């Protein structure tokens, strides 16, 4: 068998139908909102990579520190022969896991909505590890997955703190669908950003160089290009606020003055009052008790908990 297989479980036009539905629904309700997944076209993914190198944006470095220190323990605890990575993107931090799991590792199953991210990452990996089976899945992992029949035990990794971009009800559904993928002996490795002082959190989402502002406004460029919109990013301000009750950061786009955005392909005119905001992202921050409870509610048991030296970010290992 060839060491690389790619399975598409997304219709090629699924993304555009979903974008239409999300924009129509999100911009005709009050308060307005857009799902964060639409940030990530080629430009948005580039901006996100840039964010991960900003001095204010600590989560990527903190998670890399944990993986570098703990990958051997993770490998020993799981003995995984298949590594599944949800939202794998460029698979950069996964190298620590793959290196620690080899030579017992048979298969790497990266799952992402972006086919180009998957093939690029797979090529790089296969060049280094020609014996490894790479079975890439183009899929929306929030919708439940059929995994290939590669050998167990399986380790399912969901890194980067991306679970924080789901709302609490979505997290429950997501964790249950992960639980449903696991057999006895399999495990979940989950990355979560942690609650900390407001100034550190807000700075991470409102950096001095304005990269996060450009990333936030990129969703307008996506709407303009994909749906024939006429939104002008200069009409909107980037806003990042900490919600201390819900313990999450919200990113919003705030209309600098009253205006209307026309979206040709939706036959839609979206009015904005001066100061009106669109919520574009929630990024929840966690505590150990909350992670344990959410895992338990999905039938998963928190087995190990690791943080970086400064206690900013956590990796959880959970078993079915
Ligand atoms: C996708 C979870 C890594 O919520 O921190 C970065 C995306 N948004 N800056 C996050 C993001 C604004 C990010 N993750």
CA 208 – ligand 1 centroid, Å:
16
So what's the pLDDT on residue 10? 80
So what's the pLDDT on residue 93? 85
The SS3 of residue 196 is coil
Using the atom order of ligand 1, give the atom closest to the CA of residue 216.
Answer: 12
CA 157 – ligand 1 centroid, Å:
17
CB 262 within 8 A of CB 231: no
So what's the pLDDT on residue 158? 97
Does the pLDDT value for residue 11 go beyond 80?
Answer: no
pLDDT digits (tens, 9 = 90+) for 152-172: 999 999 999 999 999 999 999
Using the atom order of ligand 1, give the atom closest to the CA of residue 162.
Answer: 2
So what's the pLDDT on residue 71? 98
Q: Is 283 in the pocket of ligand 1 (CB under 6 A)?
A: yes
Please give the structure tokens belonging to residue 144. 């439940």
The residue among 19, 26, 6, 13 whose CA lies nearest residue 225 is: 19
The SS3 of residue 175 is helix
Least confident of 12-26, 64-78, 107-121, 253-267: 107-121
Task: List the residue whose alpha carbon is closest to atom 13 of ligand 1.
Answer: 162
**pLDDT, average across residues 166-179:** 96
The residue to mutate among 219, 283, 312, 314, having the most atoms of ligand 1 within 8 angstroms of its beta carbon, is 283
pLDDT digits (tens, 9 = 90+) for 215-251: 999 999 999 999 999 999 999 999 999 999 999 999 9
What span, in angstroms and rounded, lies between the C-alpha atoms of 304 and 312? Answer: 16
Name the pLDDT band for 90 (thresholds 50, 70, 90): low
Please give the structure tokens belonging to residue 142. 């929030």
Name the pLDDT band for 80 (thresholds 50, 70, 90): very high
What span, in angstroms and rounded, lies between the C-alpha atoms of 55 and 38? Answer: 25
Share of the chain above pLDDT 90, in %: 82
**pLDDT, average across residues 129-157:** 89
The residue to mutate among 34, 58, 161, having the most atoms of ligand 1 within 8 angstroms of its beta carbon, is 161
Least confident of 43-47, 72-76, 139-143: 139-143
CA 179 – ligand 1 centroid, Å:
24
Residue 281 marked in a binding site: yes
CA 192 – ligand 1 centroid, Å:
11
Name the pLDDT band for 3 (thresholds 50, 70, 90): confident
The residue to mutate among 281, 282, 284, 312, having the most atoms of ligand 1 within 8 angstroms of its beta carbon, is 281
CA 129 – ligand 1 centroid, Å:
30
**Average pLDDT of the chain to the nearest whole number:** 94
Using the atom order of ligand 1, give the atom closest to the CA of residue 249.
Answer: 4
Does the pLDDT value for residue 92 go beyond 80?
Answer: no
Please give the structure tokens belonging to residue 306. 């690791």
Q: What is the pTM of this model?
A: 0.96
């Amino acid at each position: 068998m060839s060491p690389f297989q790619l399975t598409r479980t997304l219709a090629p036009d699924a993304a555009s139908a979903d974008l239409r539905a999300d924009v129509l629904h999100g911009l005709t309700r009050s308060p307005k909102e857009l799902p964060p997944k639409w940030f990530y076209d080629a430009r948005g993914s580039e901006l996100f990579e840039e964010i991960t190198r900003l001095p204010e944006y600590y989560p990527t470095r903190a998670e890399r520190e944990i993986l570098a220190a703990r990958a051997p323990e993770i490998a020993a605890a799981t003995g995984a022969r298949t590594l599944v990575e949800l939202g794998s993107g460029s698979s950069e931090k996964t190298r620590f896991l793959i290196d620690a799991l080899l030579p017992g590792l048979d298969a790497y199953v990266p799952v992402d909505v972006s086919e180009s991210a998957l093939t690029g990452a797979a090529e790089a990996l296969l060049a280094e590890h020609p014996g490894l089976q790479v079975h890439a899945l183009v899929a929306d992992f929030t919708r439940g997955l059929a995994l290939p029949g590669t050998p167990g035990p399986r380790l399912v990794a969901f890194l980067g703190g991306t679970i924080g971009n789901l709302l609490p009800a979505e997290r429950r559904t997501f964790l249950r669908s992960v639980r449903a993928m696991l057999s006895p002996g399999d495990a979940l490795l989950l990355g979560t950003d942690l609650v900390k002082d407001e100034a550190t959190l807000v700075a991470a989402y409102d950096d001095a160089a304005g990269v996060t502002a450009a990333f936030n406004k990129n969703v307008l460029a996506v709407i303009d290009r994909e749906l024939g919109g006429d939104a002008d990013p200069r009409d909107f301000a980037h806003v990042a606020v900490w919600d201390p009750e819900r313990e999450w950061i919200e990113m919003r786009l705030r209309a600098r003055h009253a205006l209307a955005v026309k979206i040709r392909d939706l036959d839609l005119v979206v009015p904005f009052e001066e100061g009106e905001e669109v919520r574009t992202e929630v990024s929840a921050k966690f505590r150990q008790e909350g992670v344990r409870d959410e895992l338990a509610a999905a039938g998963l048991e928190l087995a190990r908990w690791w943080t970086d030296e400064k206690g900013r970010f956590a990796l959880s290992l959970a078993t079915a």
